[in-house]
Structure 1
Amino acid sequence: MTEAIPFLIDKRKDKTSIQFIVRIKGQRLRFVPGITIETKYWIDNVRWCKENKQYPEGYLNNIQIKKYKEIIENVIAEFQSNLILPTQQSFKDAIVKRIDEINMLEGGVISDEKQKEIDVQQKLQLFIPFAESYKESSDKSISTKKGYQTTINKLKEYESHIGVNLKFEDIDISFYNKLKQYLINKDHSKNYIGGLFKNIILFMGEAKAQGLCKFEKPRGFTVEREDGDSISLSIEEIKKIHDVVFTEDLVKKHFPDLRPQNMSRKLKSLNIERDRFIIGYCTALRISDYSRVNDYDLDDGLISIWTRKKDKKVYVPMHYYLKDIIARYGGLTLPKISSQKHNEQLKDICKIAGINDPVKKTITKGGVRIEEVKEKYNLVSSHTARRSGATNMYRNGIDLLYISRLLGHSKIEQTVKYLKITTKELAISLKDNPYFSGKKVISDMSVLLEGEKKKK
């Protein structure tokens, strides 16, 4: 084994440092461990310190020299076993690394370089910084990113509550149960809590894909949801909304506190947002998609558009309600408005149109099932247009497979759950199916799909 020999750096001084010299294949490698001794107590021919009453430090110095000598010689042996001729820098780095390993094992002080490396690794293991980075780099829609930020903000709040910075290794079933109870105590709804855990699972999956953790979703780590305020409007209710004529007298009747100077703007807004809702209903697209429809997407009675969320091109036959809208606006592009203001106007529109049937809704909030009755117009939102459009398509015999593709669903079961259709309605729609009726019927959709297969 190649020997590491200790030398004094400067014998002329009363106190000097020890250096180890290793010679290997013409290379002179040097390491200074930071051991200082009194020169007069150094025994040069044995490379050792005297151990006596006059110099009690000699005993400790010799133990340190022995340990450093062993470490250095083991490092050199490892280089040689791997057929590596080390440079001065790689020699020094390997020794420092070995010493850091000993200190980390025993809880000692490590080198600045090692501490920086550990700090970087620890930061990479922090959950929230990763989630923030993922959100910023994601190409998801603005609304999806808002959902990510809501989750991040709530987790920051939870971190402050428990006094701990969450790491990937902390995201387990115990974390799930504690966070869930914390959110229940804050009176959050089941859907709100489910949305947070859905994003947490997404973030952990992305971290796993990047090799930052080995997350496996534990049993019980579920995304709970319930059918909250989502509703569907019938064809008759949609017709009421489409046909209502907004006049000053009608608006005053429902909103007596509206200032006269705001009447003109209110009437214009009601008409535009009613038309926007009808576009959403007739296309069953998300508002983020049908807001982008322009003249170039209208061709031969079809509306075609690339959907943002699923990045797929869909085709929707032109509904007769849309022809009047296209004539008035020169297309389907309406003035921009925020989702919040659009939803506020929708409730006013539906109130004026008489969409006021009482609706009983049950929701879990703060772990308690709450039942309340609301007038239907209070539950209408931009998404009601999409759900109502898809539901009424199905009620009017449009193929479920087409509706599923239009909605961007990967499974038919997802579409059935999405549609506001009762089990009885599903059974009625299937009674003429050849399986039940014994008649051989080939739907136009089946012929079309078969034609597509042959083209491929």
Structure 2
Amino acid sequence: MANAFYRLRTTSAKTPQLIYVGCRFGKDQLIMSTGVKVLPKHWDFEKTKVKNVTTVINKDEINVFLHDLKVFINSTIEKYKLMREPLTKQSLKEEIEDYLNPKPAEVSETLFNYIEKFILEAENGKRLVDNVKRYNQGTIKRFRTTQTLLIDFSVVYSKPVDFDTIDLEFYKEYSLYMVNVKDYKTDTIAKHVRTLKTFLREATEEGINTNLDYQKKAFKVVLKSNEESTSIALNESELLEMCNLDLSETPKLERVRDLFIIGANTGLRFSDFTSIKPENIRKDYDGEFIEIIQYKTKRKVIVPINQTVKTILYKYNNELPKAISNQKFNDYIKEVAKLCQSLHSLEFLSYVKGGKDVKESVERWKMVSSHTARRSFASNAYERGTPVNAIMAITDHKTEKSFLLYIKTSKRKQAEIFRGYQK
């Protein structure tokens, strides 16, 4: 189903014309008036919005209205897809009419309507994190994933899923559904429960939800503190082997390897080490460093540049290879890791999935991803004896406890580090 579009009633008139919004249904289409008029000469037919001309007093308000209406229509189409319900011209027309002419406030807000509005506002910037910054795309994607899961669960749950039914019975059945039907790991279950509680907490603060069962101790986010993490860190010899690979015959792998090595030597997240520009490279009396505003936290971080990073930056004239998607990056970096003989050793894992204890052995190269670079940086810096607070200033961990859970240092290495402090 196509996206929404705009057109004018008449394109050559000398008087203001109605702006119509439309959506195609196969060979048919729905066309509705927005109730807003504009002179054709003030209309940008290519960008389908009001031109930036001083003679149109309310151009910004009109363009914001048109943008929000288009987002609403496209999100409504997506919502029907997620709910597996057919979307007809009539039903879409009614949705748009309700949006343009909201019903009186006495109609109570449902959980699913609230979640949809919550996500839309996060997408268009009307809802901010702590009222100061926009939600990033990764977080919005997580909201959508939990929304889809809740819709799927509502089909099989014995009660309507709404604010007043989110109680301990719901929590139990929802958890069982994620374990037995979805076969989720513990951390995935925790992610969905945490996201649901985010929706409920916001709705409570806005006076929409009055059911506080989600605040009970038993309605908890189960952490995997007793499980072995299924992620790894590469030690310095493994990184050196990867760095020394001759990948000149496969440029795409060479570019991904170089970016990974940058991440493993700076501790930056994927979104940051793939966004380094020449202007991020600075110098002072101690040497060169990278200064960048982190995409996720919007906080500035300063990372010293070692010789490995300097060599790679010089190779690309400080203009690193163009970033690819995280998914593609993860596929390619596994191909690179497979070429490293040291990464063919086995990693023994123990975790809970689908409510069952799982124990398996996996070759280490299969576990390498973009995030392995950042974890490797933190773990290797810790093993070299770098003060924890100095590492945390780069990795942005808030507490030493969370940092120590994050790094991947062997029990033997931890004992060696401890022995060093006893001398």
- TM-score class normalised by the smaller sequence: 0.5 to 0.7
Whole-angstrom CA distance in 2 between matches of 1:382 and 1:364: 24
Q: How does 1:369-448 map to 2 (within 5 A)?
A: 369-422=357-410, 425-426=413-414, 428-431=416-419
Q: Counterpart in 2 of 1:348?
A: 335
**Cα distance in 2 for residues equivalent to 1:326 and 1:243:** 16
Q: Indicate conservation of the 8 Å contact 2:266/2:374, yes or no.
A: yes
Shift of 1:165: 4.3
Q: 1:185 aligns with which of 180, 187, 190?
A: 180
2:171 corresponds to which residue?
A: 176
Q: Which moved more, 1:203-212 or 1:273-282?
A: 203-212
* Counterpart residue number, 1:205: 201
CA contact (8 A) 2:243 2:257 kept: yes
The match for 2:58 is none
Shift of 1:173: 2.2
What TM-score do you get using the length of structure 1 for normalisation?
0.62
Work out whether 1:166 is the aligned partner of 2:161.
yes
* Residue 291 of structure 1, aligned match among 266, 271, 274: 274
Amino acid at match of 1:210: E
CA distance in structure 1 between the aligned counterparts of 2:121 and 2:190, rounded to whole angstroms: 20
Amino acid at match of 2:306: H
- Counterparts of residues 47-66 of structure 1 (less than 5 Å): none
SS in 2 for 1:369: strand
1:158 to 1:127, Cα distance in 2 relative to 1, 3 A: farther
The alignment partner of 2:147 has SS state of helix
| Correspondence list, 1:28-427, <5 A | 116-119=104-107, 121-123=108-110, 128-133=115-120, 135-136=122-123, 137-138=127-128, 139-162=134-157, 164-186=159-181, 187-214=183-210, 215=212, 217-224=215-222, 225=224, 226-246=227-247, 267-300=250-283, 301-354=288-341, 355-422=343-410, 425-426=413-414
Alignment size in residue pairs: 302
Q: 1:327 to 1:122 in 2, by over 3 A?
A: closer
Matched residue type, 2:326: S
List, as ranges, runs of 4+ consecutive aligned residues in structure 1 with deviation greater than 6 Å.
none
Structure in which a larger fraction of residues adopt helix = 1
**2:198 counterpart letter in structure 1:** L
- Counterpart-to-counterpart distance in 1, 2:111 and 2:156: 22
Residue 292 of structure 1 deviates from its aligned partner by 1.8
3-state SS of paired residue (1:311): coil
- How far off its partner does 1:212 sit? 2.3
Equivalent position SS for 1:370: strand
Deviation of the 1:298 alpha carbon:
1.1
CA distance in 2, matches of 1:178, 1:235: 46
Contact 2:119 2:140 (C-alpha < 8 Å) held by counterparts: no
List runs of 5+ in structure 2 lacking aligned partners: 1-102, 129-133
Once residues 346 and 208 of structure 1 are traced to their aligned partners in structure 2, the CA distance between those partners, rounded to angstroms, is: 44
Counterpart contact for 1:124–1:130, Cα < 8 Å: no
Unaligned runs of 5+ in 1: 1-114, 249-266, 438-456
Displacement of 1:210 in angstroms is 2.2
- 2:85 match: none
TM-score of the aligned structures, taking structure 2 as reference length: 0.66
Deviates more, 1:424-433 or 1:370-379: 424-433
1:206-261 CA distance string (max 9 Å, x none): 2223232344521122222344421111101010110111265xxxxxxxxxxxxx
Instruction: Identify the residue that residue 24 of structure 2 maps to in structure 1.
Output: none
Cα pair 2:265 2:377 within 8 Å, conserved: yes
RMSD: 2.3
Deviation string for 1:118-176 (max 9, x for gaps)? 32x23478553354345434522212221111111101101122265422233232221
Change (3 A) 1:131 1:174: farther
- Mapped to 2, the partners of 1:131 and 1:426 lie a distance apart of 45
